[in-house]
Chain A
């Protein structure tokens, strides 16, 4: 069942990569889209089959692979990974859908995208530390090639190498953390359930956790480990950026929650105040540096640093609501960042520039890009946390959840969401508003299939914003259980609003 989510893209990658003859790019795009649709349908089926209220890994699969090493092929899904698997399936479809119909070396391109999907899905589903690391490192190669070959002309080599070095270091640190954790605790296997940290001294736990935090912190990324991000995001093609920002970065936060908080809750409690501080620094730093940008893609890239910071603040606050908000923010950030990068990609393709000083008046109904601009307004506002869209739901849960633990930090986060509004207003005012320069405005029309990804994402962003229960119901039992499993956390800090019973309608 779960293996299919890894096997379909992996076999698909082989199929596309070894396609005989000289296939044209459009054909391979259709084939890859079919494979991505199969993954999406299978994921939907998974959503239908999962028991929402169950706690712990479901649909587990277990194959002892190299028992001498403690490596097993062990998969499972729970409320932490399920939403992210869903996000991966969606964004994979969108990334393939938004790829150019006539790009160079299509066999390698689509094979690499599908391979990356296999790696990401595997990492989300793995229930064994070594297996996780294998998948975590597996997606590096496809992404390196995607940036280095299909990235922008200017600095793609630099960006790809920087990405590779940073994330490789991240992998090494995480591996070191995992090895230390398992060997020092004397566990015989790397399976998540087998690791017993009671034999670890407090200091050893702390060191293991710090290794993980720095390792995953590069991937998220946290300030000051973030400088690979603007370059990698900006130099990649839009499809790659959607995957990079939408799901790859989530591997970092997912790993931090699953292995950091999940395996070392005591040490997590110790470093939580520091983490919250790092989180809020990232939030402010991302928002402020985004304001100074002149390139809209770079602006969105910096905004991503800020929004990932919320996840860390919420995870550090350690109560059921904040942790729920933290996971919800991963999904919401994935959706919103994907649509932003997608629309920026459309604008770049049609208008030919990303420079704020050159763009203008795209909302113009006849010669501009009115629908794309309209969607960009909605996406920007969703990112700025305007209610009615999913960004607000997640951010609100983060604020409310963190408030009881770290009041000042969560108020700073609210302040930062005001700064988010500042740079999105700059972006929208320069891009969508203003007078269209009629001398240069001969833009190709945006086709329907180019609108489709944006429309799908907008629909989801609005729907989950209006009906947040559809988002939180998958996550809540798992995050509640994770908090309940932490012995030392003072549960009384968690807010429990005592709502008086409402008066019944008194009409006769």
Chain B
């Protein structure tokens, strides 16, 4: 039995995919009689099965060597593409995490989407996401990594566009698809170029190859940049960060998954590619600069948001920026640890936010307030999630962030370390501000009559609260608790204290005057409107593509086709004109015959006449 479980780990992604496929049957085009809810129930079952399978397998493979299995996908014309799967402890653990979180998110959706009619589409897409991500962590091939990422891009488009009647949703879906697709295509360029250079797509072999590879610096740089581009899009890093903000227009249960696992999966991919990226110092520099700039700016943007979901989406971008920094300094295990601790805390935060939004009509934090007594699950949930996300000892992210700080100090990068402290403080400030505005203060018209949410929403929130509180114990149990130096531990804890404390002093008490007007309006707007990125896109790339296509179409219609039509018109006009030759007058015909004969005669006699002409 044990053997069967390990040998058939590749089945885990198929459970969810099958569940997703099954859910489609309850779309309005097919089964209407039962209503759409069975779609959700079947999906929860299949996801539960996936979770059980991977969770049971995890202890079984604990101290065993990695198992690999390979399926041939395409073998043609010298190209051999295999789907390589690798079952290591990390992979299977991540798979269990993904299916566990999806399970809770799906349960949450039963409550949150209570009255929705899009269950079939929604759950089939959640199934697609879970299956895709499980396959991605299990697979050991760059090519299939790209394939899964690209399919998930399509999934994002459809999932964000679930409520497609709303204009903001439509633009959000469009931007999510196109931005991620830009990243994916550059990644595809990298993947296509990688094969002739490295000769393999297998990550394990690639890491071996990278150890001894001697690559032309230009090629290495281009390759490295291409491989970084995909994760930049996936992880919503500047300049491809706008989509995550707009994607928050989609349903919240999908945001739970997106914030907590779909976006970090990009970092997973980056970890896999890091040995190849590390061949180019330029690409590594780009990696950490992008990560650091994103982390700094996005934590600042988060403070300026009034939409509770957008606060969380910018926190997501910021944390992924930190993961980028960790990866670029070669701290791959640390990056994965940070992803894990971040992920569980973010699930809890998003779920708590969902519990707030669900019965309050609005998600504008300035219109909320006084919810602490009314949300006995969500209030403490948000608090625990916040403490778990910001470096507060002894919860999860403290260990990962402090270890990152230690690594930065060790690499002699005190400036980046200082930036890390600032980012951590800003994140603490932004989350505590949200917490204060939502749960404390006086009741607003929006929160006065907000009843507690349904149990399918509060139960997962409670489970996650427990999990976040137990994260340090889990790390000890798995023996991955990093050892910390005093400096970074104290510095980070202090920065959290400053950030959280400042926001607590300002926002927990409604009587305190907010210092918001001490910041000049242009700076506030700059962050509140997300660095004006939407306008930037509109005035650059969108403008250029639109103009070029417009001009090209004009050329097509009026020059290329115009030429053809002109030839046609000339023929017709020529025919119409020559028709007047047919006058019916014999003299005219005789004249034209004579002219013709003379011309013909001259032509025939030309060889004789030619010498005579001077």
Q: Which of B333-349 touch A at CB < 8 Å? A: none
Q: Indicate which residue in A323, A436, A502 contacts B82 across the interface (CB closer than 8 Å).
A: A502
Q: Is the CB of A507 within 8 A of B147?
A: no
- B interface, size bucket: 35 or more
Q: Indicate which residue in A319, A388, A422 contacts B151 across the interface (CB closer than 8 Å).
A: A388
Q: Is the interface of A mostly helix, strand, loop or mixed?
A: helix
Q: Is the CB of A499 within 8 A of B151?
A: no
Q: Is the CB of A324 within 8 A of B76?
A: yes
Interchain nearest-CB distance for B71 vs A (Å) = 11
16 contacts between A and B (CB under 8 A): A292-B546, A319-B77, A324-B77, A365-B117, A388-B147, A396-B192, A401-B77, A421-B178, A429-B174, A432-B164, A433-B173, A497-B199, A500-B200, A505-B68, A507-B3, A507-B65
Contacts of A410 in B (CB 8 A): 192
Q: Is the CB of B553 within 8 A of A292?
A: yes
Can you add 12 more A-B contacts, CB < 8 Å, to A361-B165, A469-B73, A476-B77?
A288-B548, A291-B545, A321-B79, A377-B158, A386-B154, A387-B147, A414-B185, A418-B181, A435-B166, A476-B76, A506-B66, A507-B65
Q: Is A363 an interface residue (CB 8 A)?
A: yes
Contacts of B181 in A (CB 8 A): 418, 421
Chain B residues proximal to chain A, CB less than 8 Å: 3, 6-7, 27-29, 64-70, 73-80, 82, 84, 117-118, 146-147, 150-151, 153-154, 157-158, 161, 164-167, 169-170, 173-174, 177-178, 181-182, 185, 188-189, 192-193, 195-196, 199-200, 202, 205, 545-546, 548-550, 552-553, 556, 560-561, 564, 568
Q: Is the CB of A292 within 8 A of B550?
A: yes
Q: Is the CB of A505 within 8 A of B80?
A: no
Tell me, in angstroms, the Cα distance from A419 to B542 when the chains sit together: 11
Q: Is the CB of A289 within 8 A of B79?
A: no
Give the 5 A-B residue pairs with the shortest CB-CB distance, closest first. A365-B28, A320-B77, A292-B553, A433-B164, A291-B549
Tell me, in angstroms, the Cα distance from A387 to B169 when the chains sit together: 25
A505 to B, closest residue via Cβ: B67
Q: Which of A302-333 touch B at CB < 8 Å? A: 319-321, 323-324
Scan A402-417; emit 1 where CB is below 8 A from any B CB, else 0: 0110010011001101
Q: Is A498 an interface residue (CB 8 A)?
A: yes
Q: Is the CB of A434 within 8 A of B165?
A: yes
Q: Indicate which residue in A371, A388, A399, A418 contacts B182 across the interface (CB closer than 8 Å).
A: A418
Q: Is A3 an interface residue (CB 8 A)?
A: no
Chain A residues proximal to chain B, CB less than 8 Å: 162, 165, 223-224, 226-227, 285, 288-293, 319-321, 323-324, 361, 363-366, 370-371, 374, 377, 381, 386-388, 392-393, 396-397, 399-401, 403-404, 407, 410-411, 414-415, 417-419, 421-422, 425, 429, 432-436, 468-469, 472-473, 476, 479-480, 494-500, 502-507
Q: Is the CB of B27 within 8 A of A370?
A: yes
Q: Indicate which residue in A320, A414, A415 contacts B192 across the interface (CB closer than 8 Å).
A: A414
Q: Is the CB of A399 within 8 A of B192?
A: yes
Q: Is the CB of B164 within 8 A of A497?
A: no
Q: Is the CB of A436 within 8 A of B165?
A: yes
Q: Indicate which residue in A289, A381, A497, A503 contacts B553 across the interface (CB closer than 8 Å).
A: A289
Interchain nearest-CB distance for B183 vs A (Å) = 10
Contacts of B200 in A (CB 8 A): 497-500
Tell me, in angstroms, the Cα distance from A377 to B162 when the chains sit together: 13
Q: Indicate which residue in A381, A434, A506 contacts B67 across the interface (CB closer than 8 Å).
A: A506
Contacts of B29 in A (CB 8 A): 365, 370-371, 374
Q: Is the CB of A498 within 8 A of B173?
A: no
Q: Is the CB of B79 within 8 A of A497?
A: yes
Interchain nearest-CB distance for A491 vs B (Å) = 10
Interchain nearest-CB distance for A402 vs B (Å) = 9
A417 to B, closest residue via Cβ: B185
B169 to A, closest residue via Cβ: A433
Q: Is the CB of B205 within 8 A of A500?
A: yes
Q: A377-B158, A495-B78, A507-B65 are in contact. Are A361 and B193 (CB under 8 A)?
A: no
Which of B165, B169, B546 is the most central at the interface, judged by chain A CB atoms within 10 Å of its CB? B165
Tell me, in angstroms, the Cα distance from A506 to B88 when the chains sit together: 12
Contacts of A361 in B (CB 8 A): 164-165
Q: Indicate which residue in A224, A285, A435, A479 contacts B77 across the interface (CB closer than 8 Å).
A: A479
Q: A468-B74, A506-B65 are in contact. Are A387 and B79 (CB under 8 A)?
A: no
Q: Is the CB of A227 within 8 A of B165?
A: no
Tell me, in angstroms, the Cα distance from A388 to B152 when the chains sit together: 11
Contacts of A165 in B (CB 8 A): 568
Which of A319, A365, A377 is the most central at the interface, judged by chain B CB atoms within 10 Å of its CB? A365
Q: A370-B28, A370-B29, A476-B77 are in contact. Are A429 and B560 (CB under 8 A)?
A: no
Contacts of A417 in B (CB 8 A): 185
Q: Indicate which residue in B74, B117, B178, B188 contacts A414 across the interface (CB closer than 8 Å).
A: B188
Contacts of A499 in B (CB 8 A): 80, 82, 199-200, 202
Contacts of B158 in A (CB 8 A): 377
Tell me, in angstroms, the Cα distance from A386 to B148 when the chains sit together: 10
Tell me, in angstroms, the Cα distance from A429 to B164 when the chains sit together: 9
Q: A324-B77, A387-B147, A495-B78 are in contact. Are A292 and B549 (CB under 8 A)?
A: yes
Contacts of A503 in B (CB 8 A): 68
Q: Is the CB of B79 within 8 A of A403?
A: no
Contacts of A479 in B (CB 8 A): 77
Interchain nearest-CB distance for B567 vs A (Å) = 10
Tell me, in angstroms, the Cα distance from A404 to B194 when the chains sit together: 11
Interchain nearest-CB distance for B267 vs A (Å) = 21
Contacts of B73 in A (CB 8 A): 468-469
Q: A499-B199, A500-B205 are in contact. Are A480 and B77 (CB under 8 A)?
A: yes
Tell me, in angstroms, the Cα distance from A411 to B189 when the chains sit together: 6
Tell me, in angstroms, the Cα distance from A468 to B7 when the chains sit together: 26
Contacts of A323 in B (CB 8 A): 77
Q: Is the CB of A387 within 8 A of B151?
A: yes
Interchain nearest-CB distance for A323 vs B (Å) = 8
Tell me, in angstroms, the Cα distance from A364 to B161 when the chains sit together: 12
Tell me, in angstroms, the Cα distance from A335 to B556 when the chains sit together: 27
Tell me, in angstroms, the Cα distance from A476 to B75 when the chains sit together: 10
Interchain nearest-CB distance for B115 vs A (Å) = 14
Tell me, in angstroms, the Cα distance from A363 to B552 when the chains sit together: 32
Tell me, in angstroms, the Cα distance from A421 to B178 when the chains sit together: 7
Tell me, in angstroms, the Cα distance from A320 to B147 when the chains sit together: 23
Contacts of B147 in A (CB 8 A): 387-388, 392
Contacts of A436 in B (CB 8 A): 165
